[in-house]
Chain A
Amino acid sequence: MSFAIARTIDEALAGLAAGARPIAGGTDLVVGARHGKAPLPDDLVAIDRLDELKTVTRTALGVSIGALVSHHDIETHPLLTSIYAGLADGSALVGSPSTRHVGTLGGNIMNGSPAMDTGAPLAVMGAEVELRSLRGTRRVPVEQLWVGPGRTCAAPDELCVAVHIPAPPARAGSAYVRLEYRRAMEIAVVGAAAVVTLADDGAVATLAVALTAVAPIILSVTGLDALVGLGVSGAAAAVGEMAATQATPISDVRASDRYRRHTVGVMARRAVEAAARRAGGETIAIPVNRAIGIGAPS
């Protein structure tokens, strides 16, 4: 057993190559171990001091978000809460203030839960994940990262160093909504993210939708090209039906499969409507869930 605090990315990569697991905020790893879900790995390398992975950088192509950027940083970052509002909607819903301060974007996506709140927004935005090991660096579209519940395509020696999101086109907007039974310390019953681009006449020009907690991994809705050219309300209603049809939810203590299938359609419709409002230039406060009244009032 060993525990090391990495001072440089190379130290972290060497630790991973020697078989250690990275720990960022530990809000999945430590909490899961305490639940008995999976024992704490014998060898750990703490990556939380790697300040170079805590930056949000605007690039010519879009934005690069370091793997250690926290949910709190995302929900308060001026660029991410405006141009990438759907991602901020997701981070703002995570746990409580402490979970959002300690929990990281890298930890959220590498943990690979189908209920993760940043996964669907990143999928609809066409994000890529940068994975680094002593063997080199590669980029993987985020939708290819997840291969099953709690499983990613990353090799054990690969560290997620950043998430890259392309710049959205003009007249685009994004939103993420989730069904929750209470307004904090909640896990998505189901959720949906959407990116909508509007044509000059207000019709839908492009559309992407992804769903949370209704399949073994984040599920991207297919067949949306057929909706291009429709008005927003028609497209939103159609997306709701397609989402409910394509979902393959399970029943568990939180909801039955039938309830999930029904409500994910509602969430998908609302995500499209909110994204379209933002695409039209409207500002909806982060998280859009509160602004549109999902979840019990406080």
Chain B
Amino acid sequence: MTDTPIHAIHLTVNGIDYPVAVAQGRNLLSVIRTEIGLTGTKEGCDDCECGACMVLLDGQPVNSCSYLAVQAQGRAITTVEGLADGDALSLLQRNLLDEGGVQCGFCTPGMLLSATALLQRNDSPSEEEVRIGLSGNLCRCTGYTKIVAAVQRTAVEIRAAARQA
């Protein structure tokens, strides 16, 4: 077997450029967590099934456990740390807390990113559309009802804010 080459690459995470050295087969999740040090993104199943590792790549949801870090060069990566503005949580984050959609919290970062991407492409999703939008994210505590309610409430508030603007 040939030696695995180490690639010196740049990743843009939440608008910040990070130079990192990564092996060819390394997944994006482990680079975000251990090289870049942002541990909001979680490793759950490590198999593309649970969605705990969800990040956005140019605004679209991606399972970072199964995405090559080298392939994310030049793309805008958003993790859960990028949703808040300093200490000010995003509307969706506040609503998720308010509705009681967070228990153990392990699925929360992934849920937030899938829901953020959904609301960006559809500001008035039906309950069915929210459930489909979150269908790649497993939660083993709350049972989804409150999470879905938080996303729908956020959609209503985004539309109300847009009308006022």
- Do B136 and A185 touch across chains, with their CB atoms under 8 A apart? yes
Instruction: Mark A256-298 against chain B: 1 for CB-CB distance below 8 A, else 0.
Output: 0000000000000000000000000000000000000000001
Complex contact B117–A1 (CB within 8 A): no
A59 to chain B, nearest CB (A): 28
Q: Residue B139 at the A interface, CB < 8 A? A: no
Given contacts A1-B2, A183-B135, A184-B135, contact A97 B62 (CB under 8 A): no
Given contacts A33-B25, A40-B25, contact A99 B48 (CB under 8 A): yes
* Cα of A27 to Cα of B47 in the assembled complex, Å: 10
Given contact pairs A30-B67, A31-B48, A34-B66, A97 touches B5 in the complex (Cβ within 8 A): no
* Residue among A46, A48, A96 making CB contact with B136, cutoff 8 Å: A96
Q: Is A35 an interface residue (CB 8 A)?
A: yes
Q: Quick one: CB contact mask for B44-75 with A, threshold 8 Å, 1 for yes?
A: 00111101001001001111011110110110
Q: Which of B2, B51, B117 contacts A42 (CB 8 A)?
A: B2
Is A26 engaged at the interface, CB distance under 8 Å to the other chain? yes
Judge whether B24 is part of the interface by a CB distance below 8 angstroms.
yes
A21-37 vs B, CB cutoff 8 Å, 1 = contact: the mask equals 00100110011011100
How far apart sit A221 and B46, CA to CA, in the bound complex (Å)? 39
Q: Provided the pairs A1-B2, A1-B4 are in contact, do residues A26 and B67 lie with their beta carbons within 8 angstroms? A: yes
- Measured CB to CB, the closest approach of chain B to A129, in angstroms, equals 24
Known: A30-B67, A31-B66, A48-B71. A101 touches B25 (CB 8 A): no
Contact of A102 with B by CB under 8 A: yes
**A96 cross-chain contacts in B, Cβ below 8 A:** 51, 135-137
For residue A98, CB closer than 8 A to chain B, the reply is yes
Q: How many residues of A contact B (CB 8 A)?
A: 30
Partner of A97, one of B2, B24, B48, B135: B135
Q: Which residues from B are CB-within-8-Å of A95?
A: 48, 136
Which A residues are in CB contact (< 8 Å) with B135? 96-97, 183-185
Q: Which residue of B lies closest to A96 (CB)?
A: B136
- Residue picked from A1, A27, A42, most chain B C-beta under 10 Å: A1
Q: Which residue in chain B gives the minimum CB-CB distance to A46?
A: B71
CB neighbours of A72 from chain B (8 A):
60
The proximity string for A residues 88-111 relative to B, scoring 1 for CB distances below 8 Å and 0 otherwise, is 000000011111011000000000
Q: Is the CB of A98 within 8 A of B49?
A: no
A72 to B68, CA, bound (A): 21
User: Which residues of A are found within 8 Å of B82, using beta-carbon distances?
Assistant: none
Q: CA A185 – CA B63 in complex, angstroms?
A: 13
> Is A83 in the interface zone, CB < 8 Å from B?
no
Task: Encode B108-138 as 1/0 by CB contact (under 8 A) with A.
Answer: 0000001001100000000010011101110
Query: Which residues from A are CB-within-8-Å of B74?
Result: 5, 49
B115 to chain A, nearest CB (A): 10
Indicate if B7 sits at the interface (CB-CB under 8 A): yes
The smallest beta-carbon distance between A81 and chain B, in angstroms, is 15
- What's the least CB distance linking B133 to chain A, in Å? 6
- The chain A residues found within 8 Å of chain B, CB to CB, are 1-3, 5, 23, 26-27, 30-31, 33-35, 40, 42, 44, 46, 48-49, 72, 95-99, 101-102, 183-185, 298
Nearest 6 pairs of A and B residues by beta carbon: A96-B136, A184-B135, A98-B61, A101-B60, A298-B131, A31-B66
9 examples of A-B residue contacts, CB within 8 angstroms: A3-B68, A5-B74, A30-B66, A30-B68, A40-B24, A72-B60, A99-B136, A101-B61, A185-B49
Known: A1-B5, A30-B27. 13 other contacts (CB 8 A): A3-B7, A5-B73, A26-B68, A26-B71, A30-B68, A31-B66, A46-B71, A96-B137, A97-B132, A98-B51, A98-B61, A98-B136, A185-B136
